[in-house]
Structure 1
Amino acid sequence: MKVGFIGTGSMGSLLIYALIQSGALEPRQIAASNRTPSKVRQLSLRYPGLHESQSNRETVIRSNIIFLCVKPLEFKHVIDDILPVVNSNHIIVSITSPVQLRHLESSLPCKVSKIIPSVTHQVGSGASLCIHGERMTPEDRSVLEGLLSHFSRPYQVDEACTRITSDFSSCGPAFISFFLEQWIESAVKLTGIKRADACALAGEMLLGTGKLLTEGGYTPQELQARVAVPGGITAQALALMKNSLDGVFDSLIHTTHDKYEEDLSKLDEVFRAGEINRQQY
């Protein structure tokens, strides 16, 4: 199997690392291209055998599965560039949530999927969201998800739920880290605990909590009830947070969805303009 990456920024390079580190692929099975060639050169030095493509088209030609790891508004330009060398057997995978399957399937003659990765893949953990196009056969889905399963839990979702599922799996680490950062800063300021100790304890707590929710059979509500004794310290602190955070998560979801809809509207316009141009010429 040959896998290509167009775009090797933060998430593209993370996926390359995860595939190699987990043993899913050897560097010689990967080709990559970037509009800044030095970024691919750095990857090839880190992973000897990884192929430095001189163009996006070369990446496609050398690959069976191609991950498009570029910003939303760059997609149309990249697709137009690689279109002459894409064939029906290729599997092209977007990792960008606002890019819709209909955008890809209307512009490309191949099989397409959308995968939303997470920074947690760096440690072989977390869910990778999978939204497959109509041309993807069960065998194609199995191959793609088989790759992802080496470092994550592939999780099929409906495209209509892309944003909210991404809030948890992809944005969630940043949201939870922000919460922990604020908690740690207050602890250091008010109690004198060393920041390193607070960070270590918070990390271990978060790891254990995740296991209780995924392996221990607890729901969040059940876990709170398990820890919080009525009238105790935890229960009193939970009551404070319930009052203080009232409406915050509604606002968080509105914020992420509004930005998603804004990006989607821009993409619709870009792809619609491309379709009009094709019809004219």
Structure 2
Amino acid sequence: MKIGIIGTGSMGSILIESFVESTAVTPSQLIITNRTIEKAYAFKEKFPDLKVVNSSEEVACEADIIFVCVKPLQFQPLLMDLSSVLSEEQILISITSPISIAQLESVVCCKTARIIPSITNRAFAGTSLVTLGTTCTPDDYETLHSLLTHISTPVIIEEGITRVASDIVSCGPAFFSYLIQRFIEAAVRQTEITHEEGTQMASEMMIGFGKLLEKGIFTLPTLQERVSVPGGVTGEGLKVLGSEVGDMFDLLFKQTHAKYNEDLEKVKEQFPT
């Protein structure tokens, strides 16, 4: 089985490195390209057996499964270029949320899917969000599931929750990284701890936090209950969070959905009804 990657930017890079290092595929199974071809050749220095080609059409001619890792507004012209070389047995995969399955299927004859990865997949962890096209078979799902389980927990989602699921799974690491950094900065401002000390302690806390959840030792609510003893320091901190967080996360989801809807309108202009 040959895996094609069109676009070696942030998420394309994560897929290449994660698939190889998790042994989901061997480098010789990968065919990659990028608009700036030097960026693709940089991966050949790391994985000499992978194949770099000069165009997206060459990827589509050789790969069985093709991950398209480009920006939403680059999709329609790219799909038009690929449509003449794709065959019905291939699977073309979008990793971007504004492109719907129906839009993919309106241009290409092959099977389609949308798989939204997360930066956490780079550590062979976290979730990948899967929406299958109408012509994908159970065998196709098993193939994709087998590939993705090397680097993530695949979860099938309906189109209607694509954006919010992406906010949690794909954007979430950036959101919570920002909050942890603000947490550390406040500790430095209010006490004598150094930024380096705070960063180390907070990072180790987050790693331990994740392992508690991974092992099923605590749920989110029971973890909070166990740390927050009646009349204790943690409870005082939680009071502050309860009063200050307010509707912050509601506003976050409203903002991401507003940008998503803006992207949807731009994409709609490119695709036929």
Q: Same fold (TM over 0.5)?
A: yes
1:2 aligns with 2:12: no
Aligned equivalents of 2:151, 2:35: Cα separation in 1: 27
Opposite residue 80 of structure 2, the aligned amino acid is: D
Q: Which runs of 4+ in 1 moved over 6 A?
A: none
Q: What does residue 141 of structure 2 align with?
A: 141
Q: What does residue 278 of structure 1 align with?
A: none
* CA deviations over 1:182-224 (Å, ceiling 9, x no partner): 0111112222223222222212211222233343253322221
Opposite residue 218 of structure 2, the aligned amino acid is: Y
Paired residue secondary structure (2:113) = strand
Task: Single out whichever of 84-93 and 203-212 deviates more from structure 2.
Answer: 203-212
* CA deviations over 1:139-188 (Å, ceiling 9, x no partner): 10111121111111111111111111111110010011111100111112
TM-score (norm 2): 0.97
Q: How many residues align?
A: 273
TM-score (norm 1): 0.94
Q: CA deviation at 1:116?
A: 0.7
Aligned equivalents of 2:233, 2:28: Cα separation in 1: 56
Q: What does residue 181 of structure 1 align with?
A: 181
Aligned equivalents of 1:105, 1:211: Cα separation in 2: 40
Aligned equivalents of 1:95, 1:177: Cα separation in 2: 22
Aligned equivalents of 2:117, 2:2: Cα separation in 1: 20
Q: How is 1:1-281 mapped onto 2 (pairs within 5 angstroms)?
A: 1-216=1-216, 218-272=218-272
* CA deviations over 1:27-74 (Å, ceiling 9, x no partner): 111001111111111111111011111211110111000000000000
Q: Percent identity?
A: 42
Q: CA deviation at 1:232?
A: 1.1
* CA deviations over 1:83-121 (Å, ceiling 9, x no partner): 110000000000001111111011111111101111111
Task: Single out whichever of 227-236 and 9-18 deviates more from structure 2.
Answer: 227-236
Aligned equivalents of 1:200, 1:102: Cα separation in 2: 46
Aligned equivalents of 1:41, 1:214: Cα separation in 2: 37
Structure 1: runs of 5 or more not aligned: 276-281
